[in-house]
Amino acid sequence: MQEKLRSHIETIVPLTNDEFSFILSLFTVKRFKRNEFIIQEGESVRYAYFVVSGLLKLTYTDDSGREHIVSFAMEEWWESDFQAFFKQTKASMSLQCLEDTIVLGLTLENYEEMSLKVEKMRIFLIKMSNAGFIASQQRIVSLLTNNAKERYEKMLKSYPALFQRVSKTQLAAYLGVSRETLSRFSS
Amino acid sequence: MQEKLRSHIETIVPLTNDEFSFILSLFTVKRFKRNEFIIQEGESVRYAYFVVSGLLKLTYTDDSGREHIVSFAMEEWWESDFQAFFKQTKASMSLQCLEDTIVLGLTLENYEEMSLKVEKMRIFLIKMSNAGFIASQQRIVSLLTNNAKERYEKMLKSYPALFQRVSKTQLAAYLGVSRETLSRFSS
DNA sequence: TTCAATTTGTGATGTATATCACGGCGCACT
DNA sequence: AGTGCGCCGTGATATACATCACAAATTGAA
């Protein structure tokens, strides 16, 4: 479990045992069951989460009550309502488990402690954040450029594993297409 | 000109004169005319740019030749094809001036030098990157949640200044709607 | 194991938006 | 002072996709 975090960080920066022990001490292990909410819209967001195992969806529910999936998070991804986390405001999104899930939670205080005390982690955090930014930007390009069927096929190619793990309803909510229309793509 | 960069950085972290001089020495001033390309698709991307004055568009051209605007950048924004910049690969996007523009360019080498030598700048860079990530994620939410007219009206409210500066054609390419359809919104 | 709830496919129809086609208007460049 | 070209509006038509409705298949909780 801890090894997952360590090897994840060490894909970017090497750590001494002492450094890693310190870093680890800043995290809290949390376990959730399938369908449980980790973050609920309107509540405050105390943690950013590193996913050890399981699968999460980050969702936004619009005025009409329709749920849109902003992102999925699987093993070795970071997830939270980062806007609410960093600005310490109420969540505008929800974070919910699609499978039983184990995460490591990091408070904003500990996030800042980590980046103050462990120099290397700043480099790591910059790289993580840049990677997230670049991924979001590519999602924007895809939403602007490709129609629903193209987005579906692109995703099927890029993340075939996800198709085994999430329902078509969830996929549709991620791709920005209705369940029925998505259903007609596969056939 | 330099003051713009300094005050921009100091909204996040204060700097000594020496620190700022050093930082400034890592940048190159560049001037471009309206319609000039700063980055062209397919070329390598040597710089990330801080916009001192003017207005830029970051665009992606799809297979059918249609141009989509990924983002606008005005004074005190950072812009580049960051994927290509950080990974040192060929640009998949273009960066073009919508007005005569002055930018400060930073190479990846100097970017890394800056974050190595000036501790505080790592904090700054993390915050910038997080802000970019959060903004992108909200754009995704808007693309998933709102229809074209809602996106148009939201933008009109959020960035009224931009409406004075860019053509409707450009706006349409940013909002992900055809020029003709957008034209029917205002009337 | 059973039964309710969720998931999925599919037809019929409605609607938002794209596409094509055209004309006028204004601005930049010579 | 033209003039050529990008910008903008608008009608007619096409199309991708949403919505509504229903039944079969699958799942999961008691």
Per-residue pLDDT of A58-95, as tens digits, reads 999 999 899 999 999 999 999 999 999 999 999 999 99
Determine the distance between B179 (CA) and C18 (C1') in angstroms: 10
User: DSSP of A72-119, one letter per residue?
Assistant: EE-TT-EES-HHHHHHT-B-SSEEEESS-EEEEEEEHHHHHHHHHH-H
Residue B104 pLDDT: 98
Cα A167-A168-A171 angle, rounded to 5 deg: 95
Say if B61 is an interface residue toward chain A (CB within 8 Å): no
Q: How distant is C1' of C23 from CA of B151, in Å?
A: 29
Residue B73 CA and nucleotide D9 C1' are separated, in Å, by: 28
- Tell me the C-alpha distance between B65 and A11, whole Å: 38
Which whole-number Å values give the CA distances from B63 to A146, B4, B60, B162, in the listed order? 10, 39, 10, 28
Would residue A82 count as lying in a domain?
A: yes
Residue A163 within a domain: no
A30 and A97 Cβ atoms separated by less than 8 Å: no
pLDDT digits (tens, 9 = 90+) for A126-160: 999 999 999 999 999 999 999 999 999 999 999 99
Nucleotide nearest to B183 (CA to C1'): D9
Q: Is residue B17 part of a domain?
A: yes
Are the beta carbons of B115 and A123 separated by less than 8 Å? yes
Chain B residues in contact with A141 by the CB 8 A cut-off are: 60, 68, 70
**Interface with A, mutate which of B77, B78, B108, B136 (most A CBs under 10 A):** B136
For chain B, what is the domain count? 1
Contact positions of strand D to protein Cβ (< 7 A): 6-12, 16-21, 29
The tokens describing A98, both together, are 């699609």
In this prediction, residue A186 carries a pLDDT of 85
Residue B127 belongs to some domain of the structure? no
Contact criterion met (CB below 8 Å) for A105 and A28: yes
Is any atom of strand C within 7 angstroms of residue B148's beta carbon?
Answer: yes
Between CA A94 and CA B84, with CA B148 as vertex, the angle to 5 degrees is: 70
Chain B residue with CA closest to A83: the answer is B134
Give me the helix-helix angle, A148-158 and A119-145, nearest 10°: 140
pLDDT of residue A1: 75
Q: Do residue B137 and residue A136 have CB atoms under 8 angstroms apart?
A: yes
Instruction: State whether the beta carbon of A169 lies below 7 angstroms from any atom of strand C.
Output: yes
The amino acid occupying position A71 is S
Distance A172 CA to C6 C1' (A): 16
Query: Cβ contacts (< 8 Å) between B141 and chain A: which residues?
Result: 60, 68, 70
Q: Is B112 on the interface with A (CB under 8 A)?
A: no
Radius of gyration of chain B (CA): 17
Nearest-angstrom CA–CA distance, B152 and B182: 8
Q: How many CA within 13 A on the CB side of residue B163?
A: 11
Domain-located, residue A83: yes
**Token pair for residue B45?**
């991307």
Instruction: Give me the interface pTM, i.e. the ipTM.
Output: 0.93
- Closest residue in B to A134 (Cα–Cα): B83
Residue A187 has pLDDT above 70, yes or no: no
Q: A9-56, pLDDT tens digit by residue?
A: 999 999 999 999 999 999 999 999 999 999 999 999 999 999 999 999
Give me the count of residues in chain B.
187
pLDDT band at A179 (very low <50, low <70, confident <90, very high): very high
Rounded to whole angstroms, the distance from the CA of residue B184 to the C1' of nucleotide D7 is 15
* Separation CA A117–CA A115 (nearest Å): 6
Q: Is B100 within the bounds of a domain?
A: yes
Q: At B50, phi and psi to the nearest 5?
A: -105, 125
Q: Which residue segment(s) compose the domain that B83 sits in?
A: 2-117
3-class secondary structure, A1:
coil
Q: Are B137 and B96 in contact (CB under 8 A)?
A: no
For residue A122, give the nearest of B70, B86, B122 by CB distance.
B122
Asked if A151 and A176 count as a contact pair (C-beta separation under 8 A), the reply is yes
Estimate the crossing angle of helix A148-158 against helix A168-175, to 10 degrees.
120
B176 Cβ within 7 A of any nucleic strand C atom: yes
Answer whether A67's CB lies under 8 Å from A24's CB: no
Q: Please give the Cα distance from A39 to A50 (Å, whole number).
A: 14
Q: Is residue A105 part of a domain?
A: yes
Q: Which single residue has its CA nearest the C1' atom of nucleotide C18? A: B178
Given a contact cutoff of 8 angstroms between Cβ atoms, the answer to whether B103 and B97 are in contact is no
Chunked into runs of 10 residues, chain B (187 residues) has average pLDDT values of 93 97 98 94 97 96 93 96 98 96 97 93 94 96 97 94 93 97 89
CATH code (residue A79): 2.60.120.10
The minimum CA-CA distance between B82 and chain A, rounded to whole Å, is 7
Give the strand order in the sheet containing B47-53: B27-32, B101-107, B47-53, B78-79
To which H or E segment does residue A114 belong?
A: helix A108-117
Whether residue A180 lies inside any domain: the answer is no
Rg of chain A taking only CA atoms, in angstroms: 17
